[in-house]
Amino acid sequence: MPWTKNKAEVNEPDYYFESSENVRRLSYSEAIREALDQALGMDQRVFIMGQGVDDPSGMFGTTLNLHKKYGSQRVFDTPLAENALTGITTGAAMGGMRPVYFHNRPDFLFLAMDQLVNHASKWFYMFGGAVNVPIVLWACIGRGWGSAAQHSQALQGLFMHIPGLKLIMPSTCYDSKGLMLAAIADNNPVLIIEHRLNFRNKGCVPEEPYRVPIGKGIIRKKGKDITFVAISHMVTEAYSAAEELSREGIEAEIIDLRTLRPLDEEIILNSVSKTGRLLIADCGWKTGGITAEISAMVAEKGFELLKAPIRRVACPDVPTPSGFTLEEGFYVGSNDILNTAREIFQIRA
Amino acid sequence: MTMDLKKYPHKLLVKLYFDMLRIRKVQLHIESLYHLDEMKTPIHLSIGQEAIAVGVCANLRQNDYISSSHRSHGHYLAKGGDLKALIAELYCRETGCSRGRGGSMHLVDTSVGHMGSSSIVGGGIPIGTGLGLAIQMKAEDRISVVFFGDGAAEEGVLYESINFAILKKLPVVFVYENNNFAVCSRVSARQAGEIIFHKTPNDAMPSQTVNGNSVMEVYEATQQAVTRARQKAGPSFIECKTYRIRGHAGAGSDEKLGYRTAEEICEWEAKCPVRTFSGLLLRNGVLNETEIQVMQETIDCEIDEAFRFALCSPLPKPEDVTKYLFCD
């Protein structure tokens, strides 16, 4: 897989455990696979479908050989019909099942927008609570190695706009398992957007089933000078930037939102009340995206807490280019976070 | 019309007529009061199409599912949906079937297997197919029926859903209600010929075309399709040819718009499914005029009561606007 050349396999920071010596370490995809395995084992209503969930690579390894363990009735390949299949998961959920529908790339979710946005996300409200739609949709951002404009989109800004849809973007192996189990147990439509770069991580993952609460962010690193709000693999990028800043005497607090909708406003505002400075880092577009929404929320609810203007690190508003020199100009990471943070402090100096 | 009615139980024939008459009368009553602007929701009447809803649903059990569209009052009532809750929904009341959150195009009654209607043309098709998947996975003894119109027949989700239904042999009956019009656009302006699914191999998905204004033709075709679904043999496709007597939305005739003539509408009114069936029943001695009169009165009473119930019901409170966003 060429994308693996972009990033070596690494251990993620041990956010959860004092010592990782006696804790089992799993790869990101193994953690998701274990969640699916346990969900299938615990609940007969759960089934997994999607183009390629039973293929030899098993959807980045997340569904690897689950069809062999649970049978092709419960883990099955689908026709390439994203819109109808999303409606079919919706109908199956109304009929008492708990479908998990895998998409290789978020780009293909555009083909499913009618059923996801017009139907699944609205059904509970539109019928006054008569029918709920417990479905999980999963897609993985395909950044890297010339994936170009239609195989690399980070569309969380769009999906965050939709009332009735829960939106999750994990960053750690522990959360990828716990949030998957929480999403499957949730009574509403949940979209999980993963990032391919996370799949090179290994982290501490307990063996027993557990749920990470949807709608709750978490502080990954405590700090008093500036708040970094990040999601998905941008949390790792923010962590590298924060370590460098720390050497320069600036302590950044890192919030991993984990869920974009419902948004954990409290954790952001509490941190900003302590640091007075806010930098938001996203791997999607800037305009109308999640950094815009979080900025607006803080400006509305916490303007008096701010000692400096809010800054955003996000991708420029162009389709993703293919060529590697242009990719360098497009993608943002720890350097952009670091430089933007330095600018914030230079302004105040 | 000549038809041998002797093979059908008397009770069934009476029920088919009663249900069509009831749907017609409910719609006429809604239409007669619509100008008052108290029902603040866009209505889409299915006057002239009652035979399809009734002929299909007469084959269904309470726990069978149906999915339908913006033009769904008939399907809802034929499946056994609560009349009071329908009228209350049109009056935007908290007692409406969707608690005043859905309106005329979004009807639901889960107690009779109606899991909600979509106003996105074709939107209910995959959902009904998915209900079929749930039935199959849970090995339940029930089926799923999908109603859709000629506009929806042009949507990609129909192809996608039928492909999946055939692939998985789902217990789904696709009922194509071809009423000739999508808003003001004729089906002949939008489709080059008959729908491709009539060409599907019979063992994959049998298809039929019936006179959608004949409740008995619809009933018979559906009976075969429903039997196939209950035997877990796979989906079926039924095209019911009919005609939309009223305009796309709202009350009254729309002949003044000029896209069709008053004569054309008259020709189809002469094929009224309710009147032609009452004529048939009277000629065959299944019903007499007095019995029909009693039915009319029974239905009128029920309608009056439903409208009274709706108008006495509370309206949802503005401060409850965020309620029902998520299910706990």
> Is A87 in contact with B130 (Cβ distance < 8 A)?
yes
Do A173 and A232 belong to one domain?
Answer: no
Q: What is the pTM of this model?
A: 0.95
Q: pLDDT per residue over A284-316, tens digit each?
A: 999 999 999 999 999 999 999 999 999 999 999
**How many angstroms separate the CA atoms of B73 and B151, rounded?**
18
Instruction: Give the model's pLDDT for residue A347.
Output: 45
pLDDT over 70 (residue A140): yes
Is A173 a domain residue? yes
Interchain CB contact of A71 with B (< 8 Å): no
Do A161 and A222 belong to one domain?
Answer: no
Is ipTM strictly over 0.85?
yes
Residues in chain B within 8 Å Cβ distance of A88 = 126-127, 129-130, 133, 161, 164
Residue B178 DSSP symbol: E
pLDDT over 80 (residue A97): yes
Q: pLDDT per residue over A171-205, tens digit each?
A: 999 999 999 999 999 999 999 999 999 998 999 99
Q: pLDDT per residue over B118-144, tens digit each?
A: 999 999 999 999 999 999 999 999 999
Interchain CB contact of A2 with B (< 8 Å): no
Q: Which CATH number fits domain B10-320: 1.10.3720.10, 3.40.190.290, 3.40.50.970, 2.60.40.420?
A: 3.40.50.970
Instruction: Give the model's pLDDT for residue B243.
Output: 95
Q: Is A9 assigned a catalytic role?
A: no
- Local structure of B308: helix, strand or coil: helix
| pLDDT (average), residues A143-168 | 93
User: Can you give the three-state secondary structure of chain A, one letter per residue?
Assistant: CHHHHHCCCEECCCCCCCCCCCCCEEEHHHHHHHHHHHHHHHCCCEEEEECCCCCCCCCCCCCCCHHHHHCCCCEECCCCCHHHHHHHHHHHHHCCCEEEEEECCHHHHHHHHHHHHHHHCCHHHHCCCCCCCCCEEEEEECCCCCCCCCCCCCCHHHHHCCCCCEEECCCCHHHHHHHHHHHHHCCCCEEEEEEHHHHHEEEECCCCCCCCCCCCCEEEECCCCEEEEECCHHHHHHHHHHHHHHHCCCCEEEEECCEEECCCHHHHHHHHHHHCCEEEEEEEECCCCHHHHHHHHHHHHHHHHCCCCCEEEEECCCCCCCCHHHHHHHCCCHHHHHHHHHHHHHHHC
Task: Count Cβ–Cβ pairs < 8 Å, chain A vs chain B.
Answer: 156
User: Of A204, A229, A253, which residue sits at a domain end?
Assistant: A204
- Local structure of B160: helix, strand or coil: helix
Residues in chain A within 8 Å Cβ distance of B160 = 79, 81, 83-85
pLDDT over 50 (residue B282): yes
A154/A144: higher pLDDT: A154
Is A1 a domain residue? no
Do A223 and A146 belong to one domain?
Answer: no
Is A292 a domain residue? yes
Interchain CB contact of A47 with B (< 8 Å): yes
> Is A130 in contact with B108 (Cβ distance < 8 A)?
yes
Q: Tell me how many helices (H) and strands (E) chain B has.
A: 10, 7
Residue B154 DSSP symbol: G
Burial of B203 (0-12, 13-18, 19+ CB in 10 A): exposed
Mean pLDDT of chain A: 94
Q: Is A151 assigned a catalytic role?
A: yes
User: Of A157, A181, A204, which residue sits at a domain end?
Assistant: A204
pLDDT over 70 (residue A163): yes
Domain count, chain A: 2
What pairing do the DSSP bridges indicate for beta strands A166-168 and A201-204? unpaired
Do A69 and A155 belong to one domain?
Answer: yes
Instruction: Give the model's pLDDT for residue B250.
Output: 87
> Is B325 in contact with A89 (Cβ distance < 8 A)?
no
Do A163 and A282 belong to one domain?
Answer: no
Do A134 and A166 belong to one domain?
Answer: yes
pLDDT confidence band for A29 (50 / 70 / 90):
very high
Numbered residues of chain B with Cβ closer than 8 Å to any chain A Cβ: 65, 67, 96-102, 106, 108, 110, 115-116, 118, 120, 123, 125-135, 137-138, 144, 156-157, 159-161, 163-164, 167, 323-328
What chain B residue is nearest to A47 in terms of C-alpha separation?
B137
Instruction: Give the model's pLDDT for residue B274.
Output: 98
Residues in chain A within 8 Å Cβ distance of B159 = 81
Do A190 and A239 belong to one domain?
Answer: no
Do A188 and A223 belong to one domain?
Answer: no
Do A93 and A185 belong to one domain?
Answer: yes
- Where in the sequence is the domain holding A236, given as residue range(s)? 218-348
Looking up residue A118, the CATH number of its domain turns out to be 3.40.50.970
Name the token pair of B77.
Answer: 């009532």
Q: How far is B57 from chain A (nearest CA, A)?
A: 19
pLDDT confidence band for A16 (50 / 70 / 90):
low
Interchain CB contact of A172 with B (< 8 Å): no
Do A167 and A275 belong to one domain?
Answer: no
Do A189 and A97 belong to one domain?
Answer: yes
From the candidates A82, A253, A293, A327, which is the catalytic residue? A82
Q: pLDDT per residue over A111-137, tens digit each?
A: 999 999 999 999 999 999 999 999 999
Burial of B32 (0-12, 13-18, 19+ CB in 10 A): exposed
Give the C-alpha distances (Å, rounded to integers) separating B198 from B95, B209, B222, B223: 42, 8, 15, 18
Bridge partners of A226?
A: A252
Q: pLDDT per residue over B231-265, tens digit each?
A: 999 999 999 999 999 989 888 888 889 899 999 99
Interchain CB contact of A113 with B (< 8 Å): no
User: How many C-beta neighbours within 10 Å does residue A293 have?
Assistant: 18
The phi and psi torsions of A168 (rounded to 5 degrees) equal: -120, 140
pLDDT confidence band for A22 (50 / 70 / 90):
confident
Task: List the one residue out of B233, B198, B325, B242 whose CA is nearest residue B20.
Answer: B242
User: Of A176, A204, A232, which residue sits at a domain end?
Assistant: A204
From the candidates A67, A119, A151, A195, which is the catalytic residue? A151
Q: How far is A76 from chain B (nearest CA, A)?
A: 11
Task: List the one residue out of B12, B13, B7 whose CA is nearest residue B282.
Answer: B13
Residues in chain B within 8 Å Cβ distance of A119 = 118, 120, 123, 127
pLDDT confidence band for A349 (50 / 70 / 90):
very low
> Is A129 in contact with B134 (Cβ distance < 8 A)?
no
pLDDT over 90 (residue B206): yes
Do A196 and A284 belong to one domain?
Answer: no
